[in-house]
C-alpha cells in the first residue's frame, strides 16, 4: 500500500487552474520531491495535501484512508505533518514550549486544567528529542521570537517532527537559508530518510538531488514527469519546460 495516493486532484481559483488532474503515489520511506517553475502550483498542492485547502475534485488517500475531507488537525493525528514556507511559530513561547505543545497534541489530553504543564518531564523530553533531530537543542530555552532565520527553519522542522508523522510535507524548508547552514540542514533531512516518508518542495536543486529518491515535475498545475532523479533529468519534456526558467543541474 502506498503511503499517499493522490487521484485526479483538481483545484481552480476562478478561471485559473492551479492543480490540473494531478495523480501521484508516494511510497513508504521515499523522499518525493516536487519541483517546477514558479507559479506551477506547488504550494497549492501541499496546501491541499495538508488540509489547508479543499480540492475541487479528486481523492487524497493516506495509508489506505480517504482524507480528502479531513481537517488539517485531524490529518496531523493520522500521521501527516507539514512545515511552512513562511515560518509559523508561537513567538512569545520558548523554543522548547513550541515543540512541547506539538508533543502534547500528539500524546495526550489537552483538557487538563490543573497541573503545571511546564514541568511535565515526558513532554519536555520528547520535545528535546525533536529539537535534537532538527539541530536546535542548544536553543531550547530561548524565546522563539529571538531566533535567527535559519533557526526558525529548524524550529519549523522540529515542530513537525514532534507530531511523530508517518508522512512529512516540507514546503521549501531551505527558503532563505544559505551556505553552510543549508548544507547542515540537508544533512539533517538526509538523516531522517528511511525513518519517515517525505514530500519535498524545494527550489534549491542541489538539495533536491541530494535528498530525493523520486521526483515529480509540476508545470502549470500539471505533472509532466515522475521518476528517479536520473530519469527526470533526462526527460526531454522536463528540459523543455525548464528552458529559460532555471538551469537543471547536469
Partner 1 sequence: MTAATAVPTRAPALAPRLKAALVLFVLFALVPPVVMAADDPFLILIATRILAYAIAAMALDLILGYGAMVSFGHAAYLGFGTYAVAILSSYGVTDIFVQMLGAVLVSALFALVTGAISLRTRGVYFIMITLAFGQMAFFFFISLSAYGGDDGYGLSQRSTVLGSAILENDVTLYYATLAVLIALFALCHRIVGSRFGRVLTGIRENPVRMEAIGFSPFRYQLTAFVISGCMTSLAGVLLANQAEFVSPAFMSWHRSGELIVMVVLGGIGTLTGAIGGAVAALLLEEVLGMLTEHWQLWFGIFLVLMVLFSPRGITGLVEQMRGRRE
Q: Give residues in contact with partner 1 (CB under 8 A).
A: 50, 71-74, 76-77, 81-82, 84, 88-94, 96-98, 101-102, 104-106, 108-118, 120-121, 124-125, 128, 131-132, 137-138, 140-141, 143, 159-160, 162-163
Task: Look up residue 225 and give its DSSP letter.
Answer: E
Minimum gap (Å) between residue 55 Cβ and partner 1: 18
* Closest to partner 1 by CB, 16 or 122: 122
* Closest to partner 1 by CB, 90 or 210: 90
84-98 burial code (b ≥16 CB/10 A, e <16): bbebebeeeebbbbb
Q: Rounded to an integer, what distance in angstroms lies between the CA atom of residue 71 and that of residue 81? A: 12
By DSSP bridging, strand 167-171 and strand 80-83 are: parallel
C-alpha grid cell for residue 163? 507530531
Q: How far is CA 171 from its chain centroid? A: 5
Minimum gap (Å) between residue 124 Cβ and partner 1: 5
Q: Rounded to an integer, what distance in angstroms lies between the CA atom of residue 160 and that of residue 162? A: 5
3-state secondary structure of 249: coil
* Closest to partner 1 by CB, 196 or 219: 196
Q: Rounded to an integer, what distance in angstroms lies between the CA atom of residue 177 and that of residue 124? A: 28
Minimum gap (Å) between residue 76 Cβ and partner 1: 3
CB 36, CB 218: distance < 8 Å? yes
Minimum gap (Å) between residue 228 Cβ and partner 1: 30
Q: Rounded to an integer, what distance in angstroms lies between the CA atom of residue 13 and that of residue 3? A: 28
* Closest to partner 1 by CB, 48 or 104: 104
* Closest to partner 1 by CB, 132 or 203: 132
Minimum gap (Å) between residue 236 Cβ and partner 1: 38
Minimum gap (Å) between residue 243 Cβ and partner 1: 36
* Closest to partner 1 by CB, 162 or 200: 162
Minimum gap (Å) between residue 164 Cβ and partner 1: 10
* Closest to partner 1 by CB, 160 or 177: 160
Instruction: Write out 126-174 in H/E/C secondary structure.
Output: HHHHHHHHHCCHHHCCCEHHHCCHHHHHHHHHHHHHHCCCCEEEEECCC
Amino acid at each position: 500500500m502506498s503511503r499517499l495516493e493522490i487521484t485526479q486532484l483538481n483545484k481552480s481559483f476562478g478561471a485559473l487552474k492551479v492543480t490540473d488532474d494531478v495523480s501521484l503515489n508516494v511510497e513508504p520511506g521515499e523522499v518525493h520531491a516536487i519541483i517546477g517553475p514558479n507559479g506551477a502550483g506547488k504550494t497549492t498542492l501541499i496546501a491541499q495535501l495538508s488540509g489547508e485547502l479543499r480540492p475541487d475534485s479528486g481523492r487524497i488517500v493516506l495509508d489506505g484512508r480517504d482524507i480528502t475531507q479531513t481537517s488539517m488537525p485531524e490529518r496531523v493525528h493520522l500521521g501527516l505533518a507539514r512545515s511552512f514556507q513562511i515560518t509559523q511559530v508561537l513567538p512569545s513561547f520558548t523554543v522548547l514550549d513550541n515543540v512541547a505543545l506539538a508533543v502534547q497534541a500528539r500524546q495526550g489530553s489537552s483538557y487538563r486544567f490543573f497541573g503545571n504543564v511546564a514541568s511535565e518531564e515526558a513532554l519536555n523530553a520528547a520535545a528535546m528529542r525533536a529539537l535534537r533531530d532538527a539541530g536546535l537543542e542548544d536553543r531550547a530555552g530561548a524565546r522563539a521570537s529571538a531566533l535567527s532565520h535559519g533557526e526558525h527553519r529548524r524550529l519549523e522542522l522540529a515542530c513537525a517532527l514532534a507530531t511523530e508523522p508517518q508522512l512529512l510535507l516540507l514546503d521549501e524548508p531551505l527558503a532563505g537559508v544559505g551556505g553552510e547552514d543549508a548544507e547542515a540542514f540537508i544533512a539533517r533531512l538526509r538523516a531522517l530518510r528511511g525513518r519517515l516518508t517525505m514530500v519535498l518542495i524545494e527550489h534549491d536543486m542541489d538539495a533536491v538531488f541530494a535528498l530525493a529518491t523520486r521526483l515529480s515535475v509540476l508545470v502549470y498545475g500539471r505533472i509532466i514527469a515522475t521518476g528517479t532523479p536520473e530519469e527526470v533529468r533526462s526527460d526531454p519534456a522536463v528540459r523543455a519546460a525548464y528552458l529559460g526558467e532555471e538551469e537543471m543541474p547536469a
